[in-house]
A = this chain, B = another copy of it.
């Protein structure tokens, strides 16, 4: 097992779906940061099932308890222990799955690796594991806010329904994605997605999709070549999320069909910077090395060149597979090698995406903060 994420800012997480609690320890968090507990809880609420139309019926309060590292409302630089109790689980719901390997789940591989497995609700491979990520990501965002760094993820595709182009302005994104259940910036597309998910629920089926993410105001100079390139760290973080199957940044796979003369990002002198004045006011002095006036005419690179941020917007996409749990009957085998059929009982999400948005943001926030702390001069 490797349950620690990061090098300087680290999250060590624990917890199974149907154990006593999920939680973690955040280490390397800077001292003296105001801890806005309401914000942290609100981030956690974003990953809760919000609407029966597109998500599961399991309703847990998921209230985070902070156990250490905070004194009189501020971080002290010591580790922050936290947990969320599991309250609504019914273990008996899973008795029939004890010796059975659900298709495209981690039941079989955990059994092979460990020789033992908490089968209730997926155990450690449950999406409840992401609770710790969201809490730690919320803490990371509290620091990034000081530097003016903003992160926003949104749904760009579910099934065959997708956005035409990737994204427009940041502020528009922020407003538009809140207006619908799938966090898609285009309201028309969003409505189609919602309709599609409702239909899949009806059918007992599930859909894959793509989450896009935009990180802006990252100063130039972030990233550790050669093996900890900024995009390699982001990619590893995203691919560690349940159901993630692909990662690309900038033009990504679309680079394959392009010529250098079309997609090289020419440098220009940016005489009227589009960055709001004062945004870097609180940045460490070392970040001022970057001449603000050098920009690029295009940003096919996705804000990263040679593994190091170049001061332009960083954007990337994460592909997720359809949720493996479906109500349709499937064939599978038992631990003992018998062939059986299986159909999920109860109600399950038809798509991981609506609840994965905040997880993608959390992993991006932790990655960027860790790289900032690594890069301090």
Contacts and interface: CB of A to CB of B under 8 A. Distances in A.
Interface in A285-328: 285, 289-291, 293-294, 296-297, 300-302, 304-311, 317, 319-326, 328
A267 B322 contact: no
A264 B330 contact: yes
How many monomers of this chain does the complex have? 4
A362 B328 CA distance: 41
Interface stretch (A144-152, A171-179, A234-242): A234-242
Q: Which of A208, A229, A297, A337 has the most CB of B within 10 A?
A: A208
Contact of A13 (B1, B25, B118): B25
A15 B205 contact: no
A15 to B, nearest CB: 5
Interface stretch (A40-48, A186-194, A217-225, A272-280): A217-225
Nearest to A301: B104
Interface string A98-139: 000101111011101111111000011100010000000000
A112 B255 CA distance: 26
B224 A1 contact: yes
Contact of A23 (B67, B237, B260, B317): B67
Contacts of A27: 1-4, 12
Interface string A54-90: 0000000000011111010011111111010000000
B305 A209 contact: no
B320 A103 contact: no
Contacts of A249: 245-246
Given A79-B13, A221-B109, A305-B109, A259 B159 contact: yes
A141 interface: no
A91 to B, nearest CB: 11
B268 A339 contact: yes
Given A104-B301, A267-B333, A78 B236 contact: no
A31 interface: yes
Contacts of A31: 114-116
A299 B13 CA distance: 30
A348 to B, nearest CB: 10
A103 B115 CA distance: 44
12 contacts: A14-B79, A71-B123, A103-B296, A109-B220, A112-B291, A159-B258, A162-B256, A232-B236, A240-B307, A245-B253, A264-B324, A294-B333
Nearest first, the 4 A-B pairs at minimum CB distance are A106-B306, A246-B248, A14-B81, A109-B308
